[in-house]
Structure 1
Amino acid sequence: MKALHSVSDLVATGLMTPEAGDAVRTVAERYAVAVTPYLRETLAGRTDPADPLYAQYVPAPAEGYTAPEEREDPIGDVARSPVKGIVHRYPDRVLLKPLHACAVYCRFCFRREMVGPGGEALTAEELDAALAYIREHEEVWEVVVTGGDPLLLSPRRLRGIVEALSAMPHVGVLRLHSRIPAADPDRVTPELVEALTSPDLATWIAVHVNHADELTPPVRAALARLIDGGIPLVGQTVLLKGINDSHAALEALFRGLVRNRVKPYYLHHPDLAAGTSHFRPTLAEGRALVKGLRGRLSGLCQPTYVLDIPGGHGKAPAAESWVEPSVDADGDGSGDGGGDGGYRVTDFTGRVHGYRG
């Protein structure tokens, strides 16, 4: 079975009607389309545009609208790229982007203007230059390999990157961000797992999963192969309107991840990528959702809700504060806290307590 790479493919396989295909042809000319054979089977019979899996991968007419605040480079990768393939935003870590191709193209992707079939990949010389930049900057402790999807690279090429980084004494952690375990789980082979491990480097993988329905038996088996091979996993999720923007959906997802030994890491507020406004809840809606999870899920199931500041200024925790300065430190309404060391602390039921310290 072949991957699907066009609207015509989607129509021919029954994932779209001809009329629906005609409505998104212009969208598909601008933003890449790809559905793996695994997802083609998984999506069979799930042709409702509101379905939480279908909506993530199949183009929709709403993508043709670009809101005034949306950007081609919403998190400012270009502004923080000193060398091709490197983004150096934080002092102790860099992004390494060896390729711009993906196995699937998520409809809400913040790099959707940069990735796609034939997307620019680093040549051997450019990869050497990017690795040289890391080698020369001894403050870099963690290298985050992203793209594109780095697990599209062959085990041989991944092994070359791992060996190069392992030879740099100041690099302690390699983190790869990937959709592959959830979108093409058979690609996670023992050979791939072996290529990513090194005794001189701690390898972590951030697995992108947005809905509990993605945790099918093949996906769970792929996650197990990575973990049993010695690679710890964290979960990366985007908060998406109509897909997972409810307490029930997020509870099921985060519990499902932890049940499969994946620690929820980031819950991203959607970036201001062109053509994605229909996926984006308001920040107030996102904060209310996250606040409501505090008493419903254990700490193991709680990711950090983050907002990537447009322009390349990094991530900021976006959740509401549970602890605030107060003039009523003891919570008795007397106001005797005086604002000197006094705080208002909200518990998971919404009750407010005083604290001095």
Structure 2
Amino acid sequence: MSQPPLSGQPAKILTTFSGLVPPGSASESRLFDADRVDWNVDWQTALRRAIRSTNQLRQLLGLPLESDSRDSNEFGTFVPLEFLRRIQKGDARDPLLRQVLVTSDEQLQHSGFVSDPVGDGDALATPGLIHKYDGRVLLIASGACAVHCRYCFRREFPYGEFGGQRQKWEAAIQYVRSHPDVHEVILSGGDPLTLVDENLFELLDRIDAIGHVRRIRIHSRFPIVIPQRITPAFCDHLSSLRSRVWFVIHANHASELDATCLSRIGLLVEAGIPVLNQSVLLRGVNANEQSLVDLMTRLVDHRIQPYYLHQLDRVRGTKHFEVPIQHGLELMRRIRARLPGYAVPTYVTEQPGQPSKTPLDRI
């Protein structure tokens, strides 16, 4: 059945640059004190009060300040307090801090590290809709994120070049409707959960109304970074869809999975929504046997299926995170010897032009 076009109102997205605590404010003059923070806030407030200054982040954690500014680029610091509270004060090597701290390493140029390492630009079917693989498409539902991960492979993605959000969605929906071989739509970004429920549900409903779409997959860091984004109402709507919904979280270290985070993910699990996890193998974060075993064990203990362990996508400014593939293969051999098969992720890389992710431990 033909569906009416999405309403003309712009999608409500909480951008990563509005209403944030400015550098030099009173909150910067002391170490971060979790007891002084009101944690009973909604996810929108959590975004608005996030840290967006490298030196502010350093000062709150009791780390030396940097004399030069490293937040002038378009992919500057953005760390919600909900994630900050899990970082150990005074420890510059904390694996969670390593994922979000801007460093001078990002300014170094290295051969083979490019703006679009996975070939997203060459696979655009419509503005913001990527069609790489048989039977499925990926929709960039939003260009905003809950946190700025320094290893992000879309850190240079030209989100602003595709016109209005609604216009982009309409073109994507028309494309999916006209391609009956597309059975799965993946919502990614950025992070699709930066959309308020009203607009996210409208988008989901429009996709769900396309009869040949059987699955909708949602990729998000929100359950890890700002867990309160996952609510009973959100889970109820996902459960009400005709299409089967699969939810993919992104966690790289067991310390990210605290009790609050796991209880919110538990809402998805209890609603009957399969939850998978994908990680990136990162030097200084999880590139050792015990860290990977701890992460995978914590996931399966809470009914979260380890899915992929990604080799780093070689986007500019991330070489300091790269782990040699041979070391990754050795780590896979070791964790396979310690974990049940269902707890072992598939170690993969993404190569532009290939028909699927490439499993590294099968070549």
TM range (shorter): 0.7 to 0.9
* C-alpha deviation, 1:114, in angstroms: 2.4
Query: Does 1 or 2 have the higher relative contact order (CA < 8 Å, sep 6+)?
Result: 2
Match runs of 1:319-330 below 5 Å: 319-320=361-362
Contact map agreement 1:6 1:28 (CA 8 A) in 2: no
* C-alpha deviation, 1:48, in angstroms: 2.3
| One of 82, 88, 107 as aligned partner of 2:125 | 82
* C-alpha deviation, 1:227, in angstroms: 1.0
AA of the residue aligned to 1:186: Q
Distance change in 2, residues 1:115/1:149 (3 Å): farther
Superposed CA deviations along residues 150-174 of structure 1, whole A, max 9, x for unmatched, are 1111111111122111111110000
Contact map agreement 1:207 1:234 (CA 8 A) in 2: yes
Worse-matched range after superposition: 252-261 or 151-160: 151-160
| One of 284, 306, 311 as aligned partner of 2:326 | 284
Superposed CA deviations along residues 123-152 of structure 1, whole A, max 9, x for unmatched, are 212211111111111100111110001111
Instruction: Report the 3-state secondary structure (helix = DSSP H, G, I; strand = E; otherwise coil) of the residue aligned with 1:206.
Output: strand
Match runs of 1:1-357 below 5 Å: 2-11=49-58, 13-14=60-61, 16-19=63-66, 22-23=67-68, 25-26=69-70, 28-43=72-87, 45-114=88-157, 122-310=164-352, 314-320=356-362
* C-alpha deviation, 1:113, in angstroms: 1.1
* C-alpha deviation, 1:194, in angstroms: 2.4
AA of the residue aligned to 1:83: T
Instruction: Report the 3-state secondary structure (helix = DSSP H, G, I; strand = E; otherwise coil) of the residue aligned with 1:175.
Output: strand
Distance of 2:101 and 2:214 partners within structure 1: 38
Q: Which runs of 5+ in 2 are unaligned?
A: 1-36, 38-48
AA of the residue aligned to 1:87: I
Contact map agreement 1:79 1:312 (CA 8 A) in 2: no
Distance change in 2, residues 1:46/1:8 (3 Å): closer
Distance of 2:171 and 2:162 partners within structure 1: 16
Contact map agreement 2:238 2:245 (CA 8 A) in 1: yes
Distance of 2:297 and 2:59 partners within structure 1: 37
Distance of 1:64 and 1:46 partners within structure 2: 26
Distance change in 2, residues 1:121/1:177 (3 Å): farther
Instruction: Report the 3-state secondary structure (helix = DSSP H, G, I; strand = E; otherwise coil) of the residue aligned with 2:282.
Output: coil
Contact map agreement 1:85 1:122 (CA 8 A) in 2: no
Q: Percent of aligned positions with the same letter in both sequences? A: 34
Distance change in 2, residues 1:281/1:146 (3 Å): same
Number of aligned positions between the proteins: 316
Distance of 1:17 and 1:73 partners within structure 2: 33
Superposed CA deviations along residues 324-356 of structure 1, whole A, max 9, x for unmatched, are xxxxxxxxxxxxxxxxxxxxxxxxxxxxxxxxx
Contact map agreement 1:83 1:130 (CA 8 A) in 2: yes
Distance of 1:291 and 1:236 partners within structure 2: 18
Instruction: Report the 3-state secondary structure (helix = DSSP H, G, I; strand = E; otherwise coil) of the residue aligned with 2:287.
Output: coil
Contact map agreement 2:276 2:307 (CA 8 A) in 1: yes
* C-alpha deviation, 1:231, in angstroms: 1.4
* C-alpha deviation, 1:316, in angstroms: 0.5
Contact map agreement 2:127 2:162 (CA 8 A) in 1: no
Instruction: Report the 3-state secondary structure (helix = DSSP H, G, I; strand = E; otherwise coil) of the residue aligned with 1:4.
Output: coil
Contact map agreement 1:69 1:272 (CA 8 A) in 2: yes
Distance of 2:99 and 2:345 partners within structure 1: 21
Q: Which residue of 2 aligns with 1:341?
A: none
Distance of 2:72 and 2:63 partners within structure 1: 13
Instruction: Report the 3-state secondary structure (helix = DSSP H, G, I; strand = E; otherwise coil) of the residue aligned with 2:240.
Output: coil
Distance change in 2, residues 1:132/1:181 (3 Å): same
* C-alpha deviation, 1:28, in angstroms: 5.0
Instruction: Report the 3-state secondary structure (helix = DSSP H, G, I; strand = E; otherwise coil) of the residue aligned with 2:83.
Output: helix
Contact map agreement 1:27 1:63 (CA 8 A) in 2: no
AA of the residue aligned to 1:78: G
- Aligned residues: CA RMSD: 2.1
Instruction: Report the 3-state secondary structure (helix = DSSP H, G, I; strand = E; otherwise coil) of the residue aligned with 2:125.
Output: coil
Q: Which protein has the larger Cα radius of gyration, Structure 1 or Structure 2?
A: 1
- Length-normalised TM-score, structure 1: 0.83
Distance change in 2, residues 1:28/1:58 (3 Å): farther
Instruction: Report the 3-state secondary structure (helix = DSSP H, G, I; strand = E; otherwise coil) of the residue aligned with 1:193.
Output: helix
Q: Which runs of 5+ in 1 are unaligned?
A: 322-357
- Length-normalised TM-score, structure 2: 0.82
